[in-house]
Amino acid sequence: MDKIVRYFTIISSLRLKLTTQNQNYLLTLKFKIMKHLFLILTLLSFITSCDKNDNSNRETNNIEGSWYLTKFEKGFAPTDTYNIEIQWTFNSNNTVDVLIVNGTNIDSRLPLQVSGNYPYSINGNTILLNNESYTFEIIDNQLFLTKDIGPSADGIRVILNKIQ
């Protein structure tokens, strides 16, 4: 009987040692796997985020040409949408020709509300249209003109699509 008790004691102590060793081994293995996984994900994020063509869809000064107004966003007010009723043509002599189809409903906050020829100038990403300053950006043949009114009010945004 003593032999059996002694045998179970030895087996229990061996099992305890193996369990402790297995737990330590598993923790070490888990840590190594997590470390490698972190490195792989970090490397993958660098590879996918660093693209030398990031600005391929952004243009800065290619504003010349004809554009038609698609949206006029007036802050919290409803957005006005247009098809081809309003066309702006930016000329190389720093003028813009505006053509508005008769009967088109025009909001009073829309820049260049009347058909005609208006001066413009560009300085960086700012455009001065008929003595009004706007931030502009061209992305994928869309021209965005933005005017912030102030911290207590929402601004306006004009979106035009380039005519191909």
The pLDDT tens digits for 121-132 are 999 989 998 888
pTM, two decimals, is 0.60
pLDDT score, position 29: 64
Beta bridge pairs of residue 67? 88, 162
pLDDT score, position 53: 47
Per-domain residue ranges of the chain: 1-50, 58-162
The pLDDT tens digits for 34-69 are 776 777 778 777 777 755 544 444 444 588 999 999
Question: Is residue 93's pLDDT more than 90?
Answer: yes
| pLDDT interval class at 25 (50, 70, 90) | low
Class assignment of domain 58-162? mainly beta
